[in-house]
Amino acid sequence: MRTMIFGHRGVPELYPENSLQGFRYAVHHGIEGVEFDVHLTKDNVPVVMHDEKIDRTTDGRGYIKNYTYQELRQFSLENYEPIPSLQEVLDLLEGRDVYVNLEFKTNKIHYKNIEKIVTDMVDQYALVHPILYSSFNLSSIKLAQPLAPNAEFAFLTGKRIKNPKSFMQANHLNALHLKFYHPDIESNERIWTVNQSLRLHFMMKHRVAGIFTNNFQRAMEIRDELQGKND
């Protein structure tokens, strides 16, 4: 099994995180998987951004939930693009041989009905591979599971999990997305966020199922060097 490489919020080392420019570059340069975060606006439009507030990555201030979608469009990322909607990102990814990991960003603010709004939208698109939903909020995963029976689900955590296999079975999970390597999980383990060369080499040597990284091209080079291009 070769380790799958996911672009963490696109390609943040080259372009603004969670930007259409970054996702477009990734798709056109052979990325295997993309990971991004979704919130809801005041008028329930899913948008792609990591933080609950727009302060860090745009020229605006305040919480996403306090703006309508059209109001959010007045603010820009560092590359002068507006904050992308989920629809714009899915338009770019539809029909592409790319695995999609959509994170429900609900661990701090649990937006009402976000799971149904998002899964209904995703169902309208012909993605090549089953979508992978993840969240730090287990209740979001449980709400989404009956809405998306063909999707895969992963729990995100920065903590170590006792009896990870039992935890996965009890919560009907396909994978765990972890900050730390667990040697006993085998094929169901993806690690975030792996950027340093030494850590990349470690994960590749242990053949974890996947990693999330800010520079997917560098990670793929190291992976191919250690695991081969066609294992």
**Residue recorded with tokens 């994978």:** 175
What are the backbone angles phi and psi of residue 31, rounded to the nearest 5°? -65, 150
User: In whole angstroms, how large is the CA radius of gyration of the chain?
Assistant: 17
Is 39 one of the annotated active-site residues of the chain?
A: no
Q: How many CB atoms lie within 10 A of CB 74?
A: 12
Residues sharing a CB contact under 8 Å with residue 209, sequence separation 6 or more, in sequence order: 1, 3, 4, 175, 187, 188, 189, 190
Residue closest to 22 by CA, chosen among 57, 65, 46, 59: 57
Catalytic residue among 28, 50, 182, 206: 50
DSSP lists the bridge partners of residue 211 as 5, 191
Give the pairing of strands 210-213 and 4-8.
parallel
Is 50 one of the annotated active-site residues of the chain?
A: yes
**DSSP letter for each residue of 80-92:** SPBPPBHHHHHHH
Q: How far apart are CA 224 and CA 190, in angstroms?
A: 17
| Catalytic residue numbers, as ranges | 8, 50
